[in-house]
Chain A
Amino acid sequence: MSPTDTAKKEIVQKEMTLNMGPQHPATHGVLRLVVDLQGETVVGCDPRPGYLHRGIEKWMESRTYHQIIPITDRLEYITCMNNNLGWVVAVEKLAGITVPERAQFIRTLMAELTRLSGHLVWLGTHALDIGAMTVCMYTLRERELILDLTEIVTGARQTVSYMRIGGVRNDIPRDFIDKCREFTELFPKRLEDYDTLIRRNRIWLKRTVGIGVMTPEDAVNYGLTGGTLRGSGVNYDLRKVEPYAAYDKVEFDVPLGKNGDVYDRYIVRISEMRQSVRIIKQCLDMMQPGPITTDDPRYAIPDKMQVMQNMQSLAHQFVLMSKWVPMPKGEVYVATETPKGELGFYIVSDGSGKPYRVKIRAPSYVHISALPKMVTGHMVADVIACIGTIDIVLGECDR
């Protein structure tokens, strides 16, 4: 064996362990990855979540059903509205509460606006990670419009706590409708702009096509949901499978990918944004005047004017806010489609005003578990593309 051969052999065999995160700008929060490298190629990957663990499930056990709504804002802090919705839908299933139609449409409308906002943050940061910096500037500009709309309705830009068990907190103001219509006219054009920036961009294609491929079987087996699953061509959207809010009354398509790579997931989410605009338009058209909270006297939070004027409403509001009312004994698992995927709440009720146990099935947590499968065999730079494509938020993953 000549000296050069020995040197070559040593280089090939030498494996390097690289620590990525938790404070890495491209890990979308405090995700830490321990990556084994053979040269530039990833041979192993061990995600280490938990840096943002706040014990939310434990905390929920000591709060009433109503007091948990603001906690759900802190799960996936980019799209709080969808988390609020997931929680109240689960509690309504547990207690058998019916929600009036106007509230259903408002919920759908706000959830889809928030979905757009979530997808814009995803697109901006994902493109930024891969090197297309311009897109991020544009997407955050449009997200600002959505946050303004959210502010008109809820008074807050983030952490909205807008949903209520049995309805929503307040009706939408009159000027919101016109501004929202303006936005739905403007947004599809802007979406075309981002799309033309990267859809056929040669560098973008090189970085995304054939990277992080998940076959439909693998994707299902790893429990992927949302756009990450539909990029592999599996038709599973909880808005269609088990419609909640007003999703059974509006028309929309479920975009599907073919190859299950980073590029297809990008196409799926871009198409989803077009569908969201379609849903928003229908909600604005179909919404009729009417009540916005349930008429079930046990769970209906009294109107503020009533609380100020009559004794019964005041007493009822006091009970609801301080200890809630007894709930039926039993357990439910209810899942909703958030921008990231399937957000499920498993609630065990012991009949009191506080849940006995809450388990949050967070899509980000499940998606990170599939990351080793996606990145093994690719280059180290592709790890960043894969983190972007599974669309994670660590607040939700670590809880």
Chain B
Amino acid sequence: MDSQQIAKMIEERFAGQVLGTTTFAGQVGVSLKKDMIREVCLFLRDEPTLTMDHLADLTAVDFSRYPGDQGPRFEVVYNLISIPFRHRIRLKVRVPEENPRIPSVAGVWNTANWHERETYDLMGIVFDNHPDLRRILLPEDWEGHPLRKEYPLKGY
């Protein structure tokens, strides 16, 4: 299925949750509100015509120094692929700086467990209802989250 059609299906199913759709270099990204993200993921996984069974990547971007960006600071990004149908979609969810929380999708795809731990470790985003949210790449007593833009590259 065409990625545009998938974006349209999400929009029809979850009216009011979709904030916009962007297309760049043939890749479609759907911006969503954060409350229903788990339900959207379950829908994408379980709908027989979509079957997005492979969560290729989950990460977050700090937009605080992006030129001209006015939205909430963090963006959590889900890159999904369907192995049987070979179509792709990208979900993007903005999370504010003062309350960087978002529902976990570790119950939808097991692979999200470690991706979310890494995002928590390096970007400081808290995933609600995550089974085991600990630091993973850095030591447990590490201070700060290195991938945030204000974190210095040198001096540690």
**A131 at the B interface (CB under 8 A):** no
The tally of CB-CB contacts under 8 A between chains A and B is: 100
Give the interface residue-count category, chain A.
Answer: 35 or more
Min distance, Cβ A317 to any Cβ of chain B, angstroms:
27
**Binding-face segment, A113-121, A151-159, A217-225:** A217-225
| Complexed CA–CA distance, A15 and B152 (Å) | 44
The answer to whether B79 touches A221 (Cβ under 8 A) is no
| Chain B residues positioned under 8 Å from A351 (CB to CB) | 67
**Binding-face segment, A102-110, A138-146, A268-276, A331-339:** A331-339
Min distance, Cβ B25 to any Cβ of chain A, angstroms:
5
Min distance, Cβ A244 to any Cβ of chain B, angstroms:
13
Q: B153 touches which one: A59, A242, A330 (CB < 8 A)?
A: A59
Q: A221 touches which one: B59, B109, B151 (CB < 8 A)?
A: B109
1/0 per residue, CB under 8 A from A, across B39-61: the answer is 00000000000000111110101
The answer to whether A333 touches B79 (Cβ under 8 A) is yes
The answer to whether B53 touches A342 (Cβ under 8 A) is no
Give the interface residue-count category, chain B.
Answer: 35 or more
Min distance, Cβ B109 to any Cβ of chain A, angstroms:
6
- Identify which of B27, B59, B67, B79 gathers the most chain A CB atoms within 10 Å of its CB: B59
The answer to whether A222 touches B77 (Cβ under 8 A) is no
The answer to whether A49 touches B136 (Cβ under 8 A) is yes
Min distance, Cβ A8 to any Cβ of chain B, angstroms:
34
| Complexed CA–CA distance, A346 and B115 (Å) | 14
**A194 at the B interface (CB under 8 A):** no
The answer to whether A366 touches B27 (Cβ under 8 A) is no
**A241 at the B interface (CB under 8 A):** yes
**A62 at the B interface (CB under 8 A):** yes
Q: B57 touches which one: A344, A356, A370 (CB < 8 A)?
A: A344
Smallest CB-CB separation from A331: which chain B residue?
A: B24
Check A332/B24 contact, CB under 8 A, given A223-B109, A357-B62: yes
Min distance, Cβ B66 to any Cβ of chain A, angstroms:
6
The answer to whether B25 touches A346 (Cβ under 8 A) is no
The answer to whether B62 touches A50 (Cβ under 8 A) is no
| Chain B residues positioned under 8 Å from A346 (CB to CB) | 57, 59, 77, 79
| Complexed CA–CA distance, A234 and B81 (Å) | 14
| Chain B residues positioned under 8 Å from A342 (CB to CB) | 56
1/0 per residue, CB under 8 A from A, across B129-148: the answer is 00000001111000000110
Chain B residues in the interface with A (C-beta under 8 A): 22, 24-25, 27, 29, 53-57, 59, 61-62, 65-67, 77, 79, 83, 86, 88, 90, 109-111, 113-115, 118, 122, 136-139, 146-147, 151, 153
Chain A residues in the interface with B (C-beta under 8 A): 49-50, 53, 55, 57-59, 61-62, 93-94, 96, 218, 220-223, 234, 236, 241-242, 328, 330-333, 335, 342, 344, 346, 348, 350-351, 356-357, 359, 361, 365-366, 368-370, 373, 398-399
Sample of 22 A–B contacts (CB below 8 Å): A50-B136, A53-B138, A57-B147, A59-B153, A62-B153, A221-B111, A222-B110, A223-B54, A223-B111, A328-B24, A331-B29, A333-B57, A346-B59, A346-B79, A348-B61, A357-B61, A357-B62, A359-B77, A361-B59, A365-B118, A366-B115, A373-B110
